[in-house]
Amino acid sequence: MIAANYVTFFGFQLAPFAKELGDSDLWLPPSKQEIVDGLCDAAESRECCLVTGDPGLGKTCILRAVRHRLSPTAYRLTYCHNATLGKRDFYRQICQALGLSPSATAAGVFYAISSHVQDLGKERVHPVFLLDEAHLLLPETLDHLHILLNYEWDARALLSLVLIGLPELVDRLALRRNRSLLSRIHRRFVIGPLTHDDTADYLRTRLRLAGDGRELFSDEAVTLVHDHAGGALRDIDRLATGGLREAARRKQKIVDGATLQRLLDAEVRS
C-alpha cells in the first residue's frame, strides 16, 4: 500500500489515526479501563450487561479490549453485529459465528445454539455473546432473546449476553414487552465523551504508536479538535488526520491552531 503524503512527510510508520489498531494497542484511560474491568468481571460472574453510548465514542473498541483480556480457554466470545436480521436469520448468524452448521428451521437453529451452550458449560468454557448495534434488533428478535438465557429451568447462567448500542437501546429495553430481558440484565455501562485532557492524551498516545513521540499538535489545536469533535473518538480521528494532512501540505512540522481552524472553515463551506 502506498503511504499517504502526510505519513511520509511526518515520517510515521503508519497512519496514526486509522481504525486499524491492534487489540493490545488500544488506548484505555481510567474511564475506559473501568468499563473493560466491569465487563470482564461480569463475564466472570456469568452476568448479562448493557453498554450504550453515542456513535464513535469507542463502544466496539471496548469490546475488543475485553476480547484481549479474557482468556480464550475459559471464555468463548461470539461477536454479532448484523442486528437487522429477522429472528431465524439472527440465530443462523449466531450459529455460523459458533461454527455450527445452521439448520433449516427456526426451532432447529435455536436448538443447535442451546445445545452448544450447554456443551460448553460441561467443558467449563463460559460463552459470552456480544451483540453490537443492538439498538437495531428487530422487535421479534429482541422479544425472543431472554429465552436464550434460560437453561435448566432458568436455574443456571450458562451464557452471558452483552448488548451494545446507541442510547436509544435503553428506551427500547424499557418498553413493557422487553421487561423479561431487561430484568435479566445485571449491569449497565454508559460510555461518555472524552474530557479535554483525555483528548490530549489520546492524540499523544496514537502519535507515539505511529512512531512519533513529539507534541505535533499545539495546545490551541488540541482544544479545537476536542471542542469540534465533542469528545467523540471517531471525529477526533478525522480532525486529527485532516490537521496533519493540511500541515504537511503547507510543509509545517506542527499542527497549530491556525491550521486546524482552516480545516474547520473548509468543512463548514463544503
Ligand X SMILES: Nc1ncnc2c1ncn2[C@@H]1O[C@H](COP(=O)(O)OP(=O)(O)OP(=O)(O)O)[C@@H](O)[C@H]1O
Tell me which residue has cell 455501562: 189
**Strand locations in the chain (E):** 49-52, 75-80, 126-131, 160-165, 187-190
Query: Is the distance from CB of 26 to CB of 64 less than 8 angstroms?
Result: yes
How crowded is residue 187: how many other Cβ atoms within 10 Å of its Cβ?
Answer: 15
Binding segment (CB under 6 A) for ligand X, from list 56-64, 145-153, 221-229, 242-250: 56-64
Q: Which stretch binds ligand X (CB under 6 A): 70-78, 154-162, 229-237, 261-269?
A: 229-237
> How many residues at the interface with Mg ion, by CB under 5 A?
2
238 touches ligand X by CB under 6 A: no
Integer Cα distance of 128 and 160 in angstroms: 5
Tell whether residue 237 is a contact of ligand X (CB under 6 A).
Answer: yes
Cell of 67: 476480547
The partner in contact with residue 121, picked from ligand X, Mg ion, none with C-beta cut-offs of 5 to 8 angstroms by kind, is none
- 21: Cβ contacts below 8 Å, ≥ 6 apart: 61, 209
| 32 is a site residue for ligand X (CB under 6 A) | yes
Note whether 67 binds ligand X by CB under 6 A. no
Nearer to ligand X, 117 or 137 (CB): 137
Using CB under 6 A as the binding rule, whether residue 26 contacts ligand X is answered as yes
d(CA 111, CA 115): 6
Please give the residues from 55 up to 114 whose contact with Mg ion meets the rule CB under 5 A.
59-60
Binding of residue 253 to ligand X (CB under 6 A): no
> Which does residue 210 bind out of Mg ion, ligand X, none, counting CB within 5 to 8 angstroms by kind?
none
Tell which one of 16, 38, 56, 231 touches ligand X (CB under 6 A): 56
Residues at the interface with Mg ion (CB under 5 A): 59-60
Residues at the interface with ligand X (CB under 6 A): 19, 21, 26-28, 32, 53, 55-61, 233-234, 237
